[in-house]
Amino acid sequence: MQQRIQIFDTTLRDGEQVPGCGLTKSKKLELAKHLEALGVDVIEAGFPISSPGDFQSVRLLAKEIKDASICGLSRAVKKDIECAAEALKGAARPRIHTGLGTSDQHVFTKLKMTHEEVIAKAKECVTYAKNFVDDVEFYAEDAGRTDNEFLAQVVEAAIAAGATVVNIPDTTGFCMPEVYGAKIKYLKDNVKDIDKAIISAHCHNDLGLATANSIAAIKNGAGQIECTINGIGERAGNTSLEEVVMIMKKHEWMGFETGIDSKLLYPISRMVSETMHMPVQPNKAIVGANAFSHSSGIHQDGVIKNKDNYEIIDPYEVGVNKSSIILTARSGRAALNFRLAEIGVNLSKDELEETYQQFLTMADEINVVEDDDLKHLVKNYNHVFSK
Ligand code: KIV
Ligand code: ZN
């Protein structure tokens, strides 16, 4: 029996905070509908107090999206919470996400509060939010750098006040996976009534560890992962949704599952990239342009013999039509022959050898050899091309 991990998507809030990624109301709704179809459990729609436009966006999503919880962010401030509650009116499953910083760095230099005041504020903001909605998520900002004993006290206060979810953000992306995992376990072992709330992992990618940290979190008792499509988000970004989902899928032995329809991952990745003007790096796991393309001769030969030699994911599983063999000067005869066969050209051994030598000269010059270049190479053999 697999444990169902909740997927909390924050593409439209933490992702949208990135300069240049801002969305109009209608674009937010369009993406939210795709996130709903993808099967995310929660959509963080925005930060309603931040601007009238964001308030309107959250309000629109609250009205239109029925299959996912709609969440609005707020600080631990009454007017923020009231504004979030107002924007969420009419939502089938509204959630208010409220909280404050808990690390000494945040408590003493940003909030200028005492530890006792932070605990009181945690209790107060959750209690206040509960007047408007049943589902209240509390975040302990910079939990990654917060002393575990103090963090446990804050989380305990939030749960006592009625928090249904307790978010433990590694806001600065500082933690190592074993440290973040141990933090979650510490809370599991030391917070009274911890099982009354879901523990949530919210990781940033400043050291490239957001995905590893999120997986460490669920292995130690977290029940929700906060993530974004393509890993977009503040600075180096957030945990990438497609990565954590496929890790759980590929490593079933860990005992986790999600409600995500993985065949929609690639299409939604393209859509987010285009709509939010954020290119996906070609070597990005799961959704990068090169994620399913093979370019070195050794790999190409292996994959032509049997895909499993170099593919751990069937591209179809994530919505990519098929993997590709890219022809460069590093490609071998097997790859050339394979690509020729794809355009309907079958050469004799001698013809292939001759073509291969010409191909290498061409590839050294133009780098990637495309179908039209191949047709040019074999034009003297009078073949009828199939494509
Ligand atoms: O990274 C963070 O701490 C956040 C909180 C507002 C949840 O995004
Ligand atoms: Zn964040």
pLDDT, one tens digit per residue, over 69-118 is 999 999 999 999 999 999 999 999 999 999 999 999 999 999 999 999 99
Q: Is the model's pLDDT at 33 over the cut of 70?
A: yes
Q: Give residue 75's identity as a one-letter amino acid code.
A: R
Q: State in Å: Cα 141 to ligand 2 middle.
A: 8
Q: State in Å: Cα 238 to ligand 2 middle.
A: 7
In this structure, are 336 and 258 located in the same domain? Answer: no
**What is the tens place of the pLDDT at every residue in 1-22?**
999 999 999 999 999 999 999 9
Q: Which residue's alpha carbon is at the smallest distance from atom 7 of ligand 1? A: 139
Q: State in Å: Cα 303 to ligand 1 middle.
A: 42
The boundaries of the domain holding residue 231 are 3-275
Nearest-atom index, ligand 1, CA of 14: 8
Which ligand lies nearest the alpha carbon of 169? 1
* Helix (H) or strand (E) run with residue 85 in it: helix 78-88
What CATH number did the domain enclosing 139 receive? 3.20.20.70
ipTM attached to this prediction: 0.99
pLDDT of residue 381: 85
Whether residue 233 lies inside any domain: the answer is: yes
Q: State in Å: Cα 362 to ligand 2 middle.
A: 48
| φ/ψ of residue 228, rounded to 5 | -135, 155
Separation between Cα atoms, residue 190 and residue 109, nearest integer Å: 27
Whether residue 115 lies inside any domain: the answer is: yes
Question: Could you tell me which of 380, 330, 372, 327 has the C-alpha nearest to residue 351?
Answer: 380
Query: In the chain, how many domains are there?
Result: 2
In this structure, are 64 and 99 located in the same domain? Answer: yes
What is the best residue among 154, 167, 239 to mutate for testing ligand 1's pocket, by most ligand atoms within 8 Å of CB? Answer: 167
Whether residue 109 lies inside any domain: the answer is: yes
Separation between Cα atoms, residue 64 and residue 92, nearest integer Å: 9
In this structure, are 215 and 343 located in the same domain? Answer: no
Domain boundary among 275, 304, 338: 275
Decide whether any atom of ligand 1 lies within 6 Å of the 101 Cβ.
Answer: no
Whether residue 286 lies inside any domain: the answer is: no
In this structure, are 268 and 298 located in the same domain? Answer: no
Paired tokens of 362: 């061409």
Whether residue 288 lies inside any domain: the answer is: no
In this structure, are 87 and 131 located in the same domain? Answer: yes
What is the best residue among 139, 146, 170, 180 to mutate for testing ligand 1's pocket, by most ligand atoms within 8 Å of CB? Answer: 139
Paired tokens of 50: 């931040």
Nearest-atom index, ligand 1, CA of 167: 7
Question: Could you tell me which of 310, 347, 346 has the C-alpha nearest to residue 326?
Answer: 310
Domain boundary among 248, 275, 302: 275
Paired tokens of 268: 């939604």
In this structure, are 227 and 310 located in the same domain? Answer: no
Tell me which residue has tokens 């191949």: 374
Q: Identify whether the C-beta of residue 247 lies closer than 8 Å to the C-beta of residue 211.
A: yes
Under the banding of pLDDT at 50, 70 and 90, the label for residue 384 is low
Decide whether any atom of ligand 1 lies within 6 Å of the 200 Cβ.
Answer: no
Q: Is the model's pLDDT at 232 over the cut of 70?
A: yes
Paired tokens of 289: 């342009």
In this structure, are 324 and 238 located in the same domain? Answer: no
Residue 14 CB neighbours (<10 A): 24
Q: Identify whether the C-beta of residue 345 lies closer than 8 Å to the C-beta of residue 356.
A: no
Decide whether any atom of ligand 1 lies within 6 Å of the 59 Cβ.
Answer: no
Decide whether any atom of ligand 1 lies within 6 Å of the 106 Cβ.
Answer: no
Whether residue 42 lies inside any domain: the answer is: yes
In this structure, are 271 and 299 located in the same domain? Answer: no
**% of the chain surpassing 70 pLDDT:** 98
Decide whether any atom of ligand 1 lies within 6 Å of the 141 Cβ.
Answer: yes
Q: Would you list the DSSP string of 154-204?
A: HHHHHHHTT-SEEEEEETTS---HHHHHHHHHHHHHHSTTGGGSEEEEEEB
Whether residue 16 lies inside any domain: the answer is: yes
Q: Is the model's pLDDT at 30 over the cut of 70?
A: yes
In this structure, are 171 and 84 located in the same domain? Answer: yes
Q: Identify whether the C-beta of residue 276 lies closer than 8 Å to the C-beta of residue 16.
A: yes
In this structure, are 76 and 191 located in the same domain? Answer: yes
Q: Give residue 173's identity as a one-letter amino acid code.
A: G
In this structure, are 254 and 152 located in the same domain? Answer: yes
Question: Could you tell me which of 60, 72, 73, 74 has the C-alpha nearest to residue 32?
Answer: 60
In this structure, are 18 and 167 located in the same domain? Answer: yes
Whether residue 285 lies inside any domain: the answer is: no
pLDDT of residue 387: 61
Q: Identify whether the C-beta of residue 90 lies closer than 8 Å to the C-beta of residue 62.
A: yes
